[in-house]
Amino acid sequence: MGRSGYTEDCENVALWRGAVERALYGKRGQAFLRELIASLDAMPEKVLIAEQLIDSEGRCCALGAVYKSRGIGVDAIDYWDAGVVGDSLGIARAMAAEIEYMNDEHFSRITPAERWVKIREWAKSYIIKLD
């Protein structure tokens, strides 16, 4: 089990997936996805690490990119607790867990540079186009 807390024996999967979808498509979620994309685009080196927010060399995961762009230190953040991460970023726990899962587990077998591309594409795919 990774930072997302997702396990193979998850109960109430349909309810959880509903929470994730509501979080992603809600007003806060949409604003956060736009901020996430902007934070990724602003990164000088387009690579994403896994399993931590920001490492000792300053490299970060997707959520770590937002912390960095906001100028928020992560030393006191328990990044293994999606609820804590979500609260500190102003998003739902379900959304924080989903982004952690995508960053750490779903895209685990690709390079950090490929992960950056895939996470950005994933986030963009959830943006609602307004006319």
Domain boundary assignment for the chain: 13-125
Task: Quote the tokens at residue 53.
Answer: 């927010």
DSSP 72-118: ---TT--TT-HHHHHHHHTS-HHHHHHHHHIIIIITTTS-HHHHHHH
Per-residue pLDDT of the chain (131 residues; tens, 9 = 90+): 454 455 555 667 778 889 999 999 999 999 999 999 999 999 999 999 999 999 999 999 999 999 999 999 999 999 999 999 999 999 999 999 999 999 999 999 999 999 999 999 999 999 998 65
What's the pLDDT at 9?
58
